[in-house]
Amino acid sequence: MTDPRRAIPRTDRLLALPAVERARERLAENVIRVVIAEAQGAARRGELEPDGVAARVAADLATRGSSTLRPVLNATGVVVHTNLGRAPLSAAAVDALLAASGYVDVELDLRTGTRSKRGLGARAALLAACPAADEALVVNNGAAALVLATTALAAGREVVVSRGELIEIGAGFRLPDLIASTGARLREVGTTNRTHLRDYADAIGPDTGCLLKVHPSNFRVEGFTSGVSVAELAPLAAERGVPLIVDLGSGLLAPDPLLPDEPDAATTLAAGADAVTASGDKLLGGPQAGILLGRSEIVTRLARHPLARAVRADKLALAALEATVTGAAPPVTVALHADPARLRERVERLAEAVDGTVVAHDGRVGGGGAPGVPLPGWAVRLPAAAAPLLRSGHPAVLPRVHDGVCLVDPRCVPESEDGRLTAAVVAAVDRL
């Protein structure tokens, strides 16, 4: 009896398929061969008829992208969602990315034909948006900004910081470990819940490299507490000749009335900080980047340190950041300030399409910004079993699962995507 596996098409014949020729315009040869091998393997295991291998290869190649990352509709109500890449980019930033994907004058003065400084456009945009800063520097992420600051100012010396600000954030990232990796020594002052100005004053000495104040992010300490504000700490730092660095984290350049307790760069610098560090992909709404703003003497010192080269931002991040700052309100800002009444109208239309229930639902800032601050809105309540169907659908939709139910909140979904969101929810509900 002839082994049916002998009928499985040979690799060379599959490589000659028209579908494979078309796929070569966008996929690498090794990727195509993996798809072919997977189809042949399925036939050998009896999961696919030999005469269906060519069709499987053609179908798989047609849907195979050059990246495994899948676009997701964020229906959680969490605006800066770290697991979804934090801030979605604005249309202006996307256009800037495309323009910067080819050759660009990132370090070239086209007028003279000579080399220029990197990131001049992003620097100018940041300084225009935050006039309290004398100088700006962009690196590849927020952690890198803090590493550069502590390395340049305090490697082999002490960083004075309150014990209540030695935080751990997502994925086990701990601030003390980060600073220790720079070669600086932590000089902890105060206690977890109470730190006073005298604690800083007593700790400053000949070996002090800088004072560091960190926005706690992700949590709040309430009750019997006290802390030292930037405005209180700045005169002490100036008197002792020690730089005061403030890690803002969230990336607000100016105050936002919606988030009155969230620190911003302009206010912090006006209060006397020598430099602030922040992330570009949180409340600023831009690409992953680390932003340093402050006094020229300090920021220039950081920019000249050898580590600055290792953590510098690439042309894509610089282009997207500049466009975020100079362009229209990015999606993060739009979602934060979404009108609850408008959200309810959208939710009611969605609920009507799937026979779901409209419920009040508070969104969140996310990304460590404004912990505990609710963003009033609405969601469609569905059975919890709908959640995995939504996540695996096309398009993928990430809802919130809470108290045994699935909640679909459109706050972070652009209105232009409401049709696709509704279709995805209808498809998931039909499969329940």
Tens of pLDDT, residues 141-170? 999 999 999 999 999 999 999 998 887 766
pLDDT band at 218 (very low <50, low <70, confident <90, very high): low
Write down all domains in the chain, each with its CATH number in brackets: 4-62 (no CATH), 72-83+333-430 (3.90.1150.180), 89-328 (3.40.640.10)
Tokens 């601030």, residue?
175
pLDDT in tens, 220-245: 677 777 889 999 999 999 999 999 99
Residue 382 has what pLDDT?
A: 97
Distance CA 275, CA 57 (A): 56
Q: What is the mean pLDDT of residues 273-294?
A: 97
| Cα 343 from chain centre | 24
Residue 34 has what pLDDT?
A: 95
Which residue, among 167, 189, 172, has the nearest Cα to 371 in the 3D structure?
A: 167
Tokens 């510098």, residue?
312
* 163, burial (CB in 10 Å: exposed 0-12, middle 13-18, buried 19+): middle
Q: Is the pLDDT of residue 128 over 70?
A: yes
Tokens 């409209």, residue?
358
**To 5 degrees, how large is the angle CA 39–CA 41–CA 46?**
100
* 131, burial (CB in 10 Å: exposed 0-12, middle 13-18, buried 19+): exposed
* 188, burial (CB in 10 Å: exposed 0-12, middle 13-18, buried 19+): middle
Q: Is the pLDDT of residue 247 over 60?
A: yes
Distance CA 138, CA 219 (A): 27
Residue 165 has what pLDDT?
A: 85
Distance CA 179, CA 150 (A): 7
Q: Is the pLDDT of residue 44 over 60?
A: yes
pLDDT band at 249 (very low <50, low <70, confident <90, very high): confident
Q: What is the mean pLDDT of residues 188-198?
A: 91
352-385 burial by CB neighbour count: b if 16+ within 10 A, else e?
A: eebebeeeebebbbbbbbbeebebebbbbbbeee
Q: How many residues does the chain have?
A: 432
Q: Is the pLDDT of residue 217 over 80?
A: no
What percent of the chain stands above pLDDT 90?
85
Residue 2 has what pLDDT?
A: 67
3-state secondary structure the chain: CCCHHHHCCCHHHHHCCHHHHHHCCCCCHHHHHHHHHHHHHHHHCCCCCHHHHHHHHHHHHHHCCCCCCCCEEEECCECCEHHHCECCCCHHHHHHHHHHCCCCCCCEECCCCEECCCCHHHHHHHHHHCCCCCEEEEECCHHHHHHHHHHHHHCCCEEEEEHHHCCEEHHHEEHHHHHHCCCCEEEEECCCCECCHHHHHHHCCCCEEEEEEECCCCCCCCCCCECCCHHHHHHHHHHHCCCEEEEEECCCCCCCCCCCCCCCHHHHHHCCCCEEEEECCCCCCCCCCEEEEECHHHHHHHHCCCHHHHCECCHHHHHHHHHHHHCCCCHHHHHHCCCHHHHHHHHHHHHHHHCCEEEEEEEECECCECCCCCEEEEEEEEECCHHHHHHCCCCEEEEEEECCEEEECHHHCCHHHHHHHHHHHHHHHHCC
pLDDT in tens, 408-428: 999 999 999 999 999 999 999
Contact 325, 285 (CB under 8 A): no
| Amino acid (one-letter) located at 125 | A
Q: Is the pLDDT of residue 213 over 90?
A: yes
Q: In what order do the strands lie in the sheet with 208-214?
A: 135-139, 290-294, 275-279, 244-249, 208-214, 158-162, 185-189
239's CB contacts (< 8 A; 6+ apart) are none
pLDDT in tens, 15-32: 999 999 999 999 999 999
185-189 and 158-162 beta bridge pairing: parallel
